[in-house]
Amino acid sequence: MDTKASWRHNYFLARKNQWLGAFLSFILPGAGSMYAGRVKSGFLLLILTILGYVAFILPGIFIHLVAVFFGYDHVRKFNIEFLKTLKEKEPGPGPL
């Protein structure tokens, strides 16, 4: 397998699904961010959502929707950074 096909293969095996990140955050606020590797951010969103629901329903709903957006966005950014890392590691054409 040539190296170009190899990094593409690795990317498609290791990339994360953005919609799964959003779904996880819908089920448990912040879980999508945690799935993307941003555990502190995900935990903060979880705590803020719980506090929002305890304080009043509307802040909780708003923060919950924000958590769903961040779940999607953090996974999207993870995939972009992962792809950049793989492309940087791609070997050049070599000596002629």
Q: What is the pLDDT of residues 32-91, one digit of tens each?
A: 999 998 999 999 999 999 998 888 888 888 999 999 999 999 999 998 888 888 777 766
Tokens of 74: 């953090």
Tokens of 89: 């590691």
Cα gap 41→67, rounded to integer Å: 10
pTM for the model? 0.69
- Going by pLDDT thresholds of 50, 70 and 90, the confidence category of residue 95 is low
Domain boundaries, the chain: 18-88
Q: Which of 70, 73, 42, 45 is nearest to 59 (CA)?
A: 45
